[in-house]
A and B are shown apart, each in its own frame.
Chain A
Amino acid sequence: MKIEEVFVVKAPIQKVWDFLWNVEEMVQCVPGVEGAEMLDPDNYRVRLKVKVGFISASFAIHMKVTEKHPPRFLRSVCTGEEDRRLSTLKQNNVLELQPLADGSTQVTLKGEVSLFGKLGTLGDSVVRGKARKMMEEFSNNVRTKIEAS
């Protein structure tokens, strides 16, 4: 399942990059993140709780930065297992920043999410819809936080 989100932050590219590269801080913008811990600058441990109505699932996620070209490009891979072992999650992310003429920055977020196991069969539209919504919320949070700082 591929999702893509493009948004503009009213801030120069370096500022946006600095925010995003502070991964511990940045992942807090992901809705449902309950804690992030840096193992080394390229590896993080994240706890994520996803709620769909009264169904909830908690994942222990390992995030690994696999490629970075400051201040424009960041590629990462997330793998995670759900606490009840109902599911595993795998996500490839690409983050691209592009400075715009007016001094703001366009952020392109591309994610390929795969939810394996029971939860993957929960209902295609719900899983997709939820993933898209989380992406939207994430970009909103990122924008608000950067623009407010």
Chain B
Amino acid sequence: MKDQMIGSSVRRVDHEAKVTGRAQYLADMKFPGVCCGKILRSPIAHGRIRGMDASAALRVPGVLAVVTRDDFLNNSRIDPYYGPVFKDQSIVALDKVRFMGDPVAGVAAVTESAAEEALAAIQVDYEELPAVFDVLEARREGAPLVHEIIRVPPHGFEDLAGLRPKESSNICTHFQLTRGDVERGFAESDHVFEDVFTLPDTQHSSLEAHAVVAWVEPGGRIVVWSTTQNPFVIRTQLSNIFRVPVSQVRVLVPYIGGGYGGKLYPKLEPLAVALALKAQRPVRIVLSREEVFLTITKHAAHIRIKTGVKNDGTLWGRECEVLLDTGAYAEIGPRVAKKSGYTAAGPYRIPHVKINSYCMYTHKPPAGAFRGFGVSQSAWACESQMDIIAAALKMDPLELRLKNAYEEGDTFATGETLTNVGLTDCIKRAARAVGWGDRRPRNSSSPLARGKGLACLIKATITPSLSSALVKMNEDGSVNVYTGTIEVGQGSETVLSQIVAEELGLTMEQVRVAPMDTDVVPYDLTTSSSRSTFHMGKAMQLACQDLKGQLRELASQLYKVPKDQVRVEDGKVTIPDASLSYREILCTRFGMSGGNLVGQGVVKTSMLSPTGEKSTSAFWFLGAGAAEVEVDRETGRVRVLKYASAADVGKAIHPLGCRQQLEGAAVTGVGQTFFEQMVFDNGQLINPNFIDYVLPSLLDVPEVIESLMVEVPHPEGPFGAKGIGETGLIPVAPAIANAIYDAVGVRIKDLPITPEKIFMALQAQREGTTLEDR
């Protein structure tokens, strides 16, 4: 049993409930007395609210409460401002609306139709103001300001402490990273390349829409069921908004139907609680698909990248300007921009680096975390340009990467030392998987052309962060496990159970993960940043070790043997002359058929490594992707024949789960590469539905997807494991773009890579011009 647990694709603990339709998601749950909450949204992109009249809405039969700015202006019991980094969002618009879809009022009614009728009855008088819809416009001198004042909370994230909004501008934050002297770097280079790359706004498109149910108990305790990936952040923010101790806020989370970063930080919770306070009833808000698109997006980006290279391919200097479009509210944009900046130089040793990464406000829906978190933006630029460089130097792109890629002990752009780096292995294995170097002869009469491309990445995890775990042993030796990690589909319940089962020598059936309830489980920062296996997994391991320590202590006391002669292994406690089950120990300890032992484990990462060096990331994600494509030169359509994803996972605790994560990320990457794009017309999103915002289907995925796991164990990770959730997504677009270039010689710099863009570039190529000339 023991040797089978870690590294074995055991039956996942959530799957039976899911295949039988019995897994409960929030919209499936019944709450007595619940009423329906709906949101009135701004019809304009930017405007001042001159006046508002909700009296007619209150007269609609069945309406229980209407919440507008009047409930918060001059109300000292509620602080309507919130936001994970800056307090720039409010429960409903107070003075201005900042994007088309910005919440202006909320209604709670006994039926959905009454709520809708009430929304229509609210009169709002707007003074329309000029608006900006992209980062370049937003940066222009004299551009309309999204925010005149930005409130900075007194206690923020430690890693973002240095970031402040730039006054009287749309710059939300500016992150700078320099190493060496980039001008010198360029001067010493033989070649300098400069390119601009862009990515559009996209959306997570979890099939489950955001939902919340909130009520306020007599006595003021707030209870919130939410589809959130970080309940403890919600608890803190609600405690700040409604001015109650965190113990008076209880957040519960059922299974989540997909997150991908889209369900982090407050979304509907503040408004739902405000409505519930007023209605004195539980209020449920479930977003429509269109509203989901208006709630959170992935940052569009404009990236200028300039690279100096020596004749032999040595990267010598890189300057990069990243402009990320965070929309109307900062959300977690400042951190996205920071992470984007950190990795804009790519996973390469470059002595001279200068990076400026800006988080910019515009009058669009707020952008936040999305699987790949800023790195999928910067890697699009960096990894595409690598192949531009390789082509110019007539070098093999694989060779160029291997020449410069980080290896064990190299110094990262921040000056810190990189350890446990399986990058070059990932690159080589991904390349090998698509038969790198094998060339098929081209059939010149066919319009189809084949090509291969590569891309690789480095990404940080959120640091510092905190995860705590409790493991409660019952009288029969089975355990309940308490964790703040949310099962969003990534398999955390299973992996954490495996770790506990392994540590305590139990079967999977003896381990049960408790439901997520902030009243019960100890603090965890967030289920994001691919951090749960590493952090929570380790916390679980420590909790088990704590528990084993207690067992050892108890056995020593109860059986009067020296502690050093007690061993806890293979699910048993061994003392000289006897082997005792957990049950026996607990029974002896408590003298009845009941009683618990509780082990605790805490993982706190810091911005300083154990050796006192600066530490940007508790561990690094390293990986690579390789694609083989077939391009139809006459139409520009691309077929991905094969995609190989390689990631340094440290240790694959559940190999099938790792494969699912790598492959799933690759599939999302394919959508982002070829067609996903939110299209705006003067601030209006014109495709907020799955007919016009297209998602990848079974027929769009590469014909073969191979997932390769490189295992370079991390000393801090549980059994050596690192995170994996995001790694697979990041290289997809540049790897495919590079393969397209390899196939037909055109370079697409703006995502998505539509057939039209390829076709037009091919046409320009035939005419002997480049797209820029046209």
Binding site for B on A (CB under 8 A): 1, 85, 88, 90, 114-117, 120-121, 123-124
Contact = CB atoms under 8 A, between A and B. Distances in A.
Interface magnitude class on chain B: 10 to 19
A124 B686 contact: yes
Given A114-B681, A114-B682, A124 B120 contact: no
B100 interface: yes
B43 interface: yes
B43 A120 contact: no
Given A85-B120, A121-B290, A114 B692 contact: no
A121 B681 contact: no
A93 to B, nearest CB: 15
B43 A121 contact: no
B687 interface: yes
Contacts of B687: 121, 124
A124 B688 CA distance: 11
B34 interface: no
Given A114-B681, A120-B684, 16 more contacts: A1-B681, A85-B120, A114-B684, A115-B684, A116-B43, A116-B44, A116-B100, A116-B684, A117-B684, A120-B681, A120-B686, A121-B290, A121-B685, A121-B688, A121-B689, A124-B687
Contacts, number: 31
Interface of B: 43-44, 100, 120, 290, 679, 681-682, 684-689, 692
A88 B681 CA distance: 13
B481 to A, nearest CB: 45
Given A88-B43, A116-B100, A124 B692 contact: yes
A90 B128 CA distance: 12
Contact of B43 (A1, A117, A123, A124): A117
B120 A121 contact: no
Contacts of A1: 681
Contacts of A88: 43
Contacts of B682: 90, 114, 116
A59 B84 CA distance: 41
A120 B688 CA distance: 10
10 contacts: A114-B681, A116-B44, A116-B682, A120-B681, A121-B685, A121-B686, A121-B689, A121-B692, A123-B692, A124-B687
Contacts of A124: 679, 686-687, 692
A117 B42 CA distance: 10
Contacts of A115: 681, 684
Contacts of B689: 121
A59 B310 CA distance: 64
A121 B687 CA distance: 6
A123 B686 CA distance: 8
Contacts of A117: 43, 684
B97 to A, nearest CB: 13
A116 B43 CA distance: 7
Nearest to A120: B684
Nearest to B691: A123
B45 to A, nearest CB: 9
Contacts of B679: 124
A131 to B, nearest CB: 12
Nearest to A114: B682
B98 to A, nearest CB: 15
